[in-house]
Amino acid sequence: DAGITQSPRYKITETGRQVTLMCHQTWSHSYMFWYRQDLGHGLRLIYYSAAADITDKGEVPDGYVVSRSKTENFPLTLESATRSQTSVYFCASSESPTALGYFGPGTRLLVL
């Protein structure tokens, strides 16, 4: 099916564990983005990518790592999860760097 998918949709992990959130889009959009959404803070940019093998930091990148070996995939890794990383994570893709037309359904992460 065409679109943007995220997996898993829900994840519970423990402090210190490594966690990878997956994002896959079928449109071959150049631009992909990771945001986290928290009460009181709204949506905040973690990382973005302009093309395969091109990534850059956003507003809150600490504790996260991304890669983009293929245009359609943009995984986000929490190297050593902390409780402050409990959040809802959204991936987005677009043809334009500043018009985010398509968001995924989100991954709800709980770090115990």
Partner 1 sequence: TQLLEQSPQFLSIQEGENLTVYCNSSSVFSSLQWYRQEPGEGPVLLVTVVTGGEVKKLKRLTFQFGDARKDSSLHITAAQPGDTGLYLCAEPRNSGYALNFGKGTSLLVTP
CB 30 within 8 A of CB 71: yes
17 or 41: whose CB is closer to partner 1? 41
- DSSP assignment of 82-105: -GGG-EEEEEEEESBTTB--EE--
- Examine residue 51 and tell whether it contacts partner 1 (CB under 8 A): no
CB 62 within 8 A of CB 40: no
Map the footprint of partner 1 across residues 56-75, applying CB under 8 A: 56, 58-59
CB 74 within 8 A of CB 49: yes
Smallest gap, in angstroms, from Cβ of residue 92 to partner 1? 7
Smallest gap, in angstroms, from Cβ of residue 32 to partner 1? 10
Smallest gap, in angstroms, from Cβ of residue 68 to partner 1? 14
- Examine residue 36 and tell whether it contacts partner 1 (CB under 8 A): no
